[in-house]
């Protein structure tokens, strides 16, 4: 049954893509948002077997969690292979500045929340540290520091559940009306695609249109795609080996090293003309990322909302909402454009795997590497910032 569920999860994005090619409304909504919506529905209908969603008896990850991890680790290099890095790095410097603003914003908001909850909630410093780790790096950072900050298993699960639900709403917002809100209401400058000396990208290589995915089954592309997929799997294997090696030295750095390796090798191979020119590797990578989006959304458990925990919910919801608004104000101060702000915010709040999907929803692939690069920096910083906040706030 678990194997059948895995196969259905892998195949489901193809159903959404096919429906989007036939129904204009679905095409306008976008594959990313449909994957999230359908994933949340499927995950909360109670139809998924426990053998698929629950951790194994030995404490190892569930099949659903493994599907999330494997899909993003294989899909990300495929997306990176087809990118012209020389072009994309024009926006990376501004992205790094924007990431610094994101880190400052999250720490400022958690500081205020700690002042509010420190008297009534003894675990306030733990929640603050968790929020800083998650919203500058990712869930993996929170998992890495949970033992060092002493957060209980129950609080950890509840925090992640609130985070999953609020983050899905956040992704919906950023992928649909985010650009309009931040350019018109927050007055961030629009991304200038006609900027002087900006290299125009070859849309025949990277095309997010749903109509291009049917070409993945074209015989003339299959050999190249199998080669690209094999290379991506090899990168995943090498990165996972590095993860195991680094984890022996410092368990908190293993996943960071793995994601750095995957991203670095994916970018490095994009400089090889034969690999960069493999037709439809971008579409194959995006399809695998759609599997990731669908499986992540299926992890959100609405039943946990019945046991409402105000401090944890505030550390999730307020940190995201107020943190994003403060981040936008700081970005406006430094003249960061709306698209760069959005992908940087997404890489901080939800981690780098979500960046390609949101960049595709924005229709702006030029900010992709900027978002990925800032997200990887967040992975590297998240553990340190989370631990630092925990010890600092305990001194207050």
The total number of structural domains that make up the chain: 1
> Helix, strand, coil % (nearest 5) of the chain?
80, 0, 20
Half-sphere exposure of 195 (CA within 13 A, CB side): 12
What is the structure's pLDDT at 199? 39
Q: Name the DSSP class of 62.
A: P
Residue 317: inside a domain:
yes
Place of tokens 């994957």: 35
Contact assessment for residue 330 and residue 104, using Cβ atoms and an 8 Å cutoff: yes
Q: What is the pLDDT of residue 90?
A: 58
- Largest interatomic CA distance in the chain: 66
Determine, yes or no, domain membership for 248.
Answer: yes
Q: Are 211 and 203 in contact (CB under 8 A)?
A: no
Q: Is residue 6 part of a domain?
A: no
Are 337 and 313 within 8 A, CB to CB? no
Give me the pLDDT at residue 34, please. Answer: 85
pLDDT, position 59 = 67
Domain that holds residue 326: 81-189+219-288+300-394
Q: Are 10 and 287 in contact (CB under 8 A)?
A: no
User: Would 305 be classed as within a structural domain?
Assistant: yes
pLDDT along the chain (396 residues), means of 10: 90 94 84 83 88 78 86 85 64 81 96 95 94 85 74 81 86 90 93 55 54 86 95 95 89 74 86 89 88 83 78 96 97 94 93 78 80 76 86 85
Q: Is residue 293 one of the residues assigned to a domain?
A: no
Decide if 130 is inside a domain: yes
Answer whether residue 367 is part of any domain. yes
Residues 6+ apart with CB under 8 A from 325: 186
In a domain, 234, yes or no: yes
Contact partners, residue 59, CB within 8 Å, separation at least 6: none
Torsion over CA: 46, 52, 53, 54 (sign): positive
pLDDT at 302 (0 to 100)? 76
């Amino acid at each position: 049954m678990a194997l059948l569920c895995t196969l259905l999860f892998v195949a489901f994005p193809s159903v959404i893509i096919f429906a989007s090619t036939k129904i204009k409304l679905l095409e306008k909504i976008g594959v990313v948002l449909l994957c999230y919506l359908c994933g949340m529905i499927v995950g909360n209908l109670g139809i998924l077997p426990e053998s698929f969603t629950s951790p194994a008896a030995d404490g190892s990850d569930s099949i659903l969690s493994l599907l999330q991890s494997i899909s993003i680790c294989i899909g990300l290099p495929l997306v990176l292979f087809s990118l012209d890095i020389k072009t994309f790095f024009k926006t990376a410097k501004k992205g790094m500045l924007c990431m610094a603003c994101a880190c400052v914003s999250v720490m400022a908001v958690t500081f205020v929340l700690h002042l509010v909850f420190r008297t009534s909630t003894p675990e306030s410093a733990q929640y603050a540290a968790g929020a800083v780790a998650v919203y500058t790096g990712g869930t993996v950072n929170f998992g890495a520091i949970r033992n060092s900050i002493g957060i209980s298993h129950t609080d950890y699960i509840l925090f992640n559940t609130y985070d999953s639900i609020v983050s899905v709403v956040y992704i919906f917002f950023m992928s649909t009306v985010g650009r309009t809100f931040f350019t018109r209401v927050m007055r961030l400058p629009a991304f200038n695609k006609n900027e002087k000396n900006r290299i125009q990208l070859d849309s025949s290589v990277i095309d997010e249109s749903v109509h291009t995915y049917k070409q993945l089954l074209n015989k003339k592309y299959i050999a190249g795609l199998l080669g690209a997929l094999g290379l991506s799997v090899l990168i995943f294997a090498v990165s996972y080996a590095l993860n195991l090696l680094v984890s022996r030295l410092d368990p908190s750095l293993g996943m960071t090293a793995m994601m750095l390796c995957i991203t670095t090798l994916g970018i490095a191979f994009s400089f090889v003309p034969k690999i960069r020119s493999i037709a439809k590797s971008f579409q194959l990578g995006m399809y695998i990322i759609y599997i990731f989006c669908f499986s992540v959304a299926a992890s959100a458990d609405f039943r946990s909302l019945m046991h409402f925990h105000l401090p944890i919910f505030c550390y999730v919801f307020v940190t995201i909402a107020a943190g994003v608004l403060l981040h936008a104000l700081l970005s406006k101060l430094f003249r960061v454009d709306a698209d760069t702000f959005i992908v940087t915010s997404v890489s901080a709040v939800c981690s780098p795997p979500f960046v390609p999907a949101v960049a595709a929803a924005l229709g702006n692939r030029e900010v992709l590497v900027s978002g990925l690069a800032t997200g990887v920096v967040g992975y590297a910083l998240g553990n340190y910032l989370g631990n630092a906040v925990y010890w600092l706030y305990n001194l207050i």
